Amino acid sequence: MTVIKAAVCRQHGQPMTIETLNLRDPLAGEVSVKISAVAICHSDIHYAEGSFGGELPAVFGHEAAGEVVAVGDGVTTAKVGDKVVVTLIRSCGTCPTCTTGRPTICQTTKRGPSPLTMDDGTNVVAEMDCGAFAEQVIVDQSQVVPFTNDIRPEVAALLGCGVITGIGAVVNAGKLRAGEDVVVIGAGGVGLNAIQGARIAGARRIIAVDMTEDRLEQAKSFGATDGVLATDKAPWKQVQRILRKGADLCVVTVGAIPAYDSAPRYLGWGGRLVMVGMPHAGSTASYEPLRAAYTGQGMIGSKMGDVVISRDIPWMIDLYEQGRLNLDDLVTKTWDLEQINEAIANTLEGSAIRNVLVL
């Protein structure tokens, strides 16, 4: 048993409190990681607001990096002393989706009790199978990827969610081919990485669509060739003028229903729509089935970029070391764990790409 500090959410929509919790030892197949850095993702904020439901009290945080300090029996993916990226992607390796190369939608959802408790024995949920807004976590061995490269932990942490989700949405889910045209709706953390993924994969034109000029300029620094304001009347018509046709691929990286309602309009004949951003539970979008059927368009949901982390994270680290993947500029500011509520407030203001807690 290890005593740690963690940011605990006791009531949805209220500030988190820094508390002392008990973290049990790792069981068979589990890894204990001392957290060096953990990024604040909008999914964490939505969970804390109650948008996706969930039990409380809970510790959020799922985009992290750290050092392995203990392992349970049978662990083969990491050893004590390894530096690792920590993700929320927990996979059994044996269900139909895992064995066909889609571990992000593993069908084995049964979990044991949380490794976190209070002194009185009250269970504290390690949300998203991580609970990384804490000094230390216990995760399944399938959730970590060791790396030996000299990467700052606040940069490595981003590979746990935002980077793999954005790049994977284009490369894995969207199956972008060199020379195709891409529209990315939303130029936040995930959107900028979708733009980078399109650039790396050889897209001809990459058009960012966002609510502000500042975001569009930022998108161009990550590889967007053009920018269109979502607030303009019929922005899809501007995209069609730029491309002289509709897009081959449109990736929605924001959880806004208006973005989903308009997304099919950006597509050309045979175009693909990749749905990444997650609206609140129960929200619905509308589209015209006739148009999709007549033009041969497709729609697909993508969770965590459809990645296989043991394959894709090392590839992305290599791209970073070559200077072909920009991770440094994704880190807007670093904060202490005790500043988590300030960091969340700053994230909600909309100017930050990623705020990162450094422990």
Record the tokens describing residue 259, joined without a space.
Answer: 């973005």
CATH number of 2-160+326-358: 3.40.50.11260, 3.90.180.10, 3.40.50.720, 2.60.40.10?
A: 3.90.180.10
The reported pLDDT for the residue numbered 113 is 84
Whole-number Å distance between alpha carbons of 193 and 172? 13
Nearby residues of 348 by Cβ (< 8 Å), 6 or more positions away = 45
| 289, amino acid identity | P
The reported pLDDT for the residue numbered 112 is 79
The reported pLDDT for the residue numbered 148 is 87
Helices (H), the chain: 42-49, 96-99, 153-156, 162-168, 189-200, 213-221, 235-243, 257-262, 289-295, 309-322, 340-348
Contact predicate 238/230, CB 8 Å: no
Closest listed residue to residue 203, CA positions, set 226, 221, 186: 226
Domain boundaries, the chain: 2-160+326-358, 165-303
- Give yes or no on whether 2-160+326-358 and 165-303 have one common fold: no
Nearby residues of 282 by Cβ (< 8 Å), 6 or more positions away = none
* Polymer length in residues for the chain: 359
Q: Which residue has the tokens 């662990």?
A: 75
Closest listed residue to residue 42, CA positions, set 359, 358, 354, 357: 354
Q: Mind listing the pLDDT tens digit of every residue in the chain (359 residues)?
A: 899 999 999 999 999 999 999 999 999 999 999 999 999 999 999 999 988 888 999 999 999 999 999 999 999 999 999 999 999 999 999 999 999 999 999 998 777 789 999 999 999 999 999 999 999 999 999 999 999 888 999 999 999 999 999 999 999 999 999 999 999 999 999 999 999 999 999 999 999 999 999 999 999 999 999 999 999 999 999 999 999 999 999 999 999 999 999 999 999 999 999 999 998 888 999 989 999 999 999 999 999 999 999 999 999 999 999 999 999 999 999 999 999 999 999 999 988 999 999 99
Question: 42-49 and 340-348 are packed helices; what angle lies between their axes, rounded to 10 degrees?
Answer: 100
- The pTM score is 0.95
Classify residue 129 by its DSSP letter: G
Q: Which residues on adjacent β-strands are paired with residue 84?
A: 66, 146
Strands, E assignment, the chain: 2-8, 17-23, 30-39, 58-59, 64-71, 83-86, 116-117, 123-126, 136-140, 144-147, 182-185, 206-210, 226-229, 247-252, 267-275, 298-301, 331-335, 354-358
**Fold topology of 165-303:** Rossmann fold (3.40.50)
The reported pLDDT for the residue numbered 103 is 95
Closest listed residue to residue 328, CA positions, set 152, 83, 201, 194: 152
